[in-house]
Amino acid sequence: MYDLVVVGAGPYGLSIAAHAAAAGLDLRVFGRPMASWRDHMPPGMFLKSEPWASNLSDPKGAFSLAAYARTQGVEVRHASPLPVGFFASYGLWFAERAAPPVDERTITSVRACPGGFRLDTDDGTTILARTVALAVGVMPFTDIPAPLRGLSSEQVSHSSHHADLARFEGRDVTVIGAGQAALETAALLAEQGTVVRVVARSDRLNWNTLPPPRQRPALEAARAPHTGLGCGWKNYLYAETPGIFRRLPETTRARVFTSALGPAGAWWLRDRFESAVDVRLGESVAGAVRVDGRVRLELVATTGRVGTVDTDHVIAATGFTPGLERLGLVDRELRAGMRTVRPSSAPEASAVFESSYPGLFVAGLLSAPSFGPSMRFVYGAAYTAERLVAGVRRRLGARGGSLVTVRQRQASSAPVGEPRLS
């Protein structure tokens, strides 16, 4: 029986694995490394976060994004966006050096068993673990507006469903949303020859401004400090004090989670977007039907006016909502017994990211309603990994589990595909 199984191999899962391996835990990591970045973002996209705020976390800080860039002969600079593909390659480099080998099989179920948890893989193998960390990323939690859900996948998709937008060249596409995913997707579509429009219920688009230099006069820096989530004291509190956020009343946490760091486009995208994309502001999708092989959208304006748009395809860039009901890999009885952060259905997490079910830990977007907006970004991985692994060690001690060195783990691990029974 492993000390820890990490489900997910994105920035959070890999960071947790790096800290757990350094702590001597006997662990396994499952998932396709950096899958969201490799499989769900089209070429041409850039990181919105600053490079210095996009590090995966290892205990010694030896495997930063800047360290990887140096191996490629590249300098990462403040206010200079990096391609998403470069960041994905960094994650793979990190995985090879800072974490145990990743098993790319998919975990299909997690259920309780005596002494811990039973996990099943997509090839029917059973793995036993004393503790489990769910670092499943955002893909289980995609949101598509209700009026669009009756359409087929040929007619509607989520923005995260596309590793390549070439299929839409020369067609007509409507993008729903006002955040970075919507605006950047629309710009890329327009640049390849797609007729594209953006429909947003807000009455205006918000754009981030060029960040000030890292080194500034002391008074200016004190008024609006740099943080991994942007400048300003409010962002500083979100970025640097997730533990304080967790102590706020549930209703306050829910309100901040849904409203903080709202939809906005990156400063470097604005000129590309505004010169190429038609925008319909203050309109919401009220209905959608198929007409002559196309999609007819019924749009209702904030003034009450009703109009229609005919389009070939709709891309919903409408974000992600974490909730236990969308986490099908976790056994229903296990989910039913977990406390949630009301009014959401996301699991309540302790100060060490442990759910109310002992030994089951959560990370990334699943923990955001507990710890705040920083958990929606790579920047939150360092805070999470250090504390979650400390929580695992504490839980193992309470259960009488044993920690082993990495060398012992490598010598005693069962071959891939065989369950660990003791």
Per-residue pLDDT of 20-60, as tens digits, reads 999 999 999 999 999 999 999 999 999 999 999 999 999 99
- Look at residue 262 in the predicted model and tell me its pLDDT: 86
Q: Which of 6-15, 330-339, 413-422 has the lowest mean pLDDT?
A: 413-422
Taking a C-beta distance cutoff of 8 angstroms, is the pair 256, 372 a contact?
yes
The pLDDT of residue 400 is: 60
Strands 283-291 and 294-301: antiparallel
In this predicted structure, what is the pLDDT of residue 410? 40
Asked if 147 contacts 169 with a C-beta cutoff of 8 angstroms, the reply is no
pLDDT at 337: 87
Pair 32, 104: CB distance under 8 Å:
yes
**What is the pLDDT, as a whole number, of residue 343?**
83
Report residue 150's pLDDT band, with 50, 70 and 90 as the boundaries: very high
Q: What is the pLDDT of residues 365-420, one digit of tens each?
A: 999 999 999 999 999 999 999 999 999 999 999 766 555 443 344 444 433 333 44
Task: Tell me the C-alpha distance between 8 and 37, whole Å.
Answer: 13
- In this predicted structure, the answer to whether residue 307 has a pLDDT above a threshold of 90 is yes
Over residues 139-153, mean pLDDT? 95
Percent of the chain at pLDDT exceeding 70 = 94
Domains of the chain, start order: 2-141+320-412 (3.50.50.60), 146-207+264-316 (3.50.50.60)
Averaged over 284-293, what is the pLDDT? 95
Q: What is the pLDDT of residues 346-357, one digit of tens each?
A: 999 999 999 999
Q: Residue 330: CA atoms inside 13 Å, Cβ hemisphere, count?
A: 26
**188 pLDDT exceeds 90?**
yes
Task: Give just the sign of the alpha carbon dihedral 248, 254, 259, 263.
Answer: positive
pLDDT of residue 349: 96
Show the 3-state SS of the chain. Answer: CEEEEEECCCHHHHHHHHHHHHCCCCEEEECCCCHHHHHCCCCCCECCCCHHHCCCCCCCCCCCHHHHHHHCCCCCCCCCCCEHHHHHHHHHHHHHHHCCCEECCCEEEEEEECCEEEEEECCCCEEEEEEEEECCCCHHHECCCHHHCCCCCCCEEEHHHCCCCHHHCCCEEEEECCCHHHHHHHHHHHHCCCEEEEEECCCCCCECCCCCCCCCCHHHHHHCCCCECECCHHHHHHHHCHHHHHCCCHHHHHHHHHHCCCCCECHHHHHHHHCCCEEEECEEEEEEEEECCEEEEEEEECCCCEEEEEECEEEECCCECCEHHHCCCECHHHHHCCCECCCCECECCCCCCECCCCCEEECHHHHHHHHCHHHHCHHHHHHHHHHHHHHHHHHHHHHCCCCCCHHHHHHHCCCCCCCCCC
At 378, phi and psi to the nearest 5? -55, -30
Look over the chain and give the mean of its residue pLDDT values, rounded to a whole number: 92
Backbone angles phi, psi at 22, to 5 degrees: -65, -30
Give phi and psi for 370, each to the nearest 5.
Answer: -85, -45
